[in-house]
Chains A and B, each alone.
Chain A
Amino acid sequence: MILQASRLAKSFGATQALRGAGLTIDAGEIVAVMGPSGSGKSTLLHCLSGILQPDGGTVTYRGVDLGGLSDRDRSALRRDDFGFVFQFGQLVPELTCLENVALPLRLGGTGRRTAEATATVWLERLEVEEAGRQQPGDVSGGQAQRVAIARALIHDPAIIFADEPTGALDTLQGEKVMQLLSSTVRGSGAALVLVTHEPRVAAYSDREVIVRDGRTADAANAA
């Protein structure tokens, strides 16, 4: 188990987005977080990954309580150990796709040539090397998501957090993205927390966690 959350609570004004959510993630597993729209899936993902601070409850990553870290240490953890894939809009529009993928390594101090050589390998793994020299605005939605996945994986994170990664794609594009995401994640040994309301996307997971009204139910324990 590398990530554990329990009794998470989070409100936005009067809206209780989370009211007692929790789960555990083992190293290398793919877990789908499912539930209706507005049930709190994204809020849960943001709390798990240290993007949001919960009002109550704890998130523990490899034995470290995220709530006990300074903002600075939490940012460093997100940068070094986590990778993120969102529905869209996560690529820097002014950079080429290759530069986008290389970015996490560059931010970590790797030289440009080494970073871009590694980025090229990742673009090839995601079968999207032809997009390398283009800017995100000039590639298709499916290509952009593959670039985003390459960027999320390039620094060898322990956990990838993906929020509706195929939400903006059609069925065939989405399927290709899921195949590549699941196979590269499995190849890298990272865990994947996959937020989706689509069963066909969840079918790429090892197990599912259901969120309803801000609460989680572990399917393994429910049935």
Chain B
Amino acid sequence: MYSGVMSVSRTLLGLLEVGPSHGYDLKRAHDELFRSERPLAYGQVYATLARLLRNGLVDVEGTEAGEGPERKRYAITDAGVTDVAAWLSTPENPQEYLHNTLYTKVVLALMSHRDAGQILDAQRAVHLESMREFNRRKQSGDLADQLICDHALFHLEADLKWLETTAGRLAELGQRVGR
């Protein structure tokens, strides 16, 4: 959910607050700690570090022998610490959930006389399949896996509750959007 560019840079910055590090170690720590679906690409790590450097949020603490960006050791600056602190203490924006692609699709389907119920049915099937996958991963995982999977499971469940509510009110919605 928070996989935007902004969040990767804040996450790397947060890791650097723990201690100075190389890009390579940052990537490994990130993938291991947060179990992200897609591991960070090195290119993204170095591009992010370059941007943080430009913005004065990190410094290059030392460059070891040899060529290439991976030899640089990065450290967080005071401005970086302030930025991380501000980010951590700012609640995530719940408005995120107002930008709902599925709702848009349902409305467009109703307006174009397509079967909106079918869109919801297909989405339910995909959501449930995804829940099964997280559930399996959770059964065999450690505590980190369990909590990460629970996060996904509760969100998918919330989506499904919305989906059922909407499925029950399609006719009403159809009238409102002028079907």
**Beta-carbon contacts under 8 Å, A178-223 to B:** 179, 198-200, 202-205, 208, 210, 212, 217, 219, 222-223
Check B83 for interface membership: any CB of A closer than 8 A.
Answer: no
Check A93 for interface membership: any CB of B closer than 8 A.
Answer: no
B168:A202 contact, CB within 8 angstroms:
no
Check A36 for interface membership: any CB of B closer than 8 A.
Answer: yes
Please report the C-alpha to C-alpha distance between residue A36 and residue B169 in the assembled complex, in whole angstroms.
12
A199:B121 contact, CB within 8 angstroms:
no
B171 to chain A, nearest CB (A): 12
Please report the C-alpha to C-alpha distance between residue A10 and residue B153 in the assembled complex, in whole angstroms.
35
Please report the C-alpha to C-alpha distance between residue A74 and residue B125 in the assembled complex, in whole angstroms.
35
A200:B131 contact, CB within 8 angstroms:
yes
Please report the C-alpha to C-alpha distance between residue A123 and residue B104 in the assembled complex, in whole angstroms.
50
The 5 closest A-B pairs by CB, nearest first: A203-B131, A203-B135, A223-B122, A199-B160, A219-B125
List 15 additional A-B contacts (Cβ < 8 Å) besides A204-B132, A223-B125.
Answer: A198-B157, A199-B131, A199-B161, A200-B131, A200-B154, A202-B131, A203-B153, A204-B135, A205-B132, A208-B128, A210-B121, A210-B124, A219-B124, A222-B118, A222-B125
19 CB contacts below 8 A, A to B, read A36-B164, A36-B168, A179-B139, A199-B160, A200-B157, A202-B128, A203-B128, A203-B131, A203-B134, A203-B153, A204-B135, A205-B132, A210-B121, A212-B167, A219-B121, A219-B124, A219-B125, A223-B122, A223-B125
